[in-house]
Structure 1
Amino acid sequence: MAHLILLVEDNEANRVLLKDILALTGNEVLEAVNGEAAVQLAQEQKPQLIFMDLQLPGIDGIKATKILKQNPSTRDIPIVAVSSYAYAREKQLFLAAGGNVYLSKPIDVDLILATVSRFLP
Structure 2
Amino acid sequence: MNKRILLIEDNPNNRYLVSFLLEAQGWQMHHASDGATGLALAASCDPAAILLDIQLPVMDGHEVARRLKADPLLANIPIMAITSFAMHGDRQAALAAGCEAYMEKPIDPDTFVDSVEALLLRA
Q: Is residue 54–residue 60 contact of structure 1 (8 Å, CA) maintained in 2?
A: yes
Matched, 1:71 2:76: no
Kindly state the Cα deviation for residue 93 of structure 1 after the two structures are TM-superposed: 1.4
Counterpart secondary structure, 1:42: helix
**Residue pair 2:48, 2:78 contacting (<8 A) in 1 also:** yes
| Contact 2:2 2:47 (8 Å CA) reproduced | no
In the alignment, the residues of structure 2 paired with residue 116 and residue 89 of structure 1 have an alpha-carbon distance, to the nearest angstrom, of 22
1:1-121 aligned at under 5 Å gives the runs 1=1, 3-120=3-120
**Cα deviations across residues 85-121 of structure 1 (Å, max 9, x unaligned)?**
2123222111011101010011112332112221345
* Uncovered stretches (5+) of structure 1, i.e. residues with no partner: none
Structure 2 residues not aligned, in runs of 5+ = none
Separation in structure 2 between the aligned mates of residue 77 and residue 60 of structure 1, nearest angstrom: 18
Secondary structure of 1:54's match?
coil
Residue 78 of structure 1 contacts residue 100 of structure 1 at CA under 8 Å; is this kept in 2?
yes
Shift of residue 75, structure 1, vs aligned partner? 0.4
TM-score by length of 2: 0.91
Tell me the amino acid that sits aligned with residue 56 of structure 1: L
3-state secondary structure, aligned to 1:110: coil
Cα distance in structure 2, aligned partners of 1:15 and 1:26: 16
Distance between the aligned counterparts of 1:73 and 1:99, measured in 2? 16
Contact 1:2 1:28 in 2 (8 A): no
* SS across alignment from 1:74: coil
Q: Percent identity?
A: 38
TM-score (norm 1): 0.93
SS at match of 1:109: coil
Segments of 4+ moved more than 3 angstroms: none
- Give the length in aligned residue pairs: 121
Q: CA deviation at 1:2?
A: 5.2
In the alignment, the residues of structure 2 paired with residue 46 and residue 13 of structure 1 have an alpha-carbon distance, to the nearest angstrom, of 24
TM-fit CA distance, 1:27:
1.2
SS of aligned partner of 1:43: helix
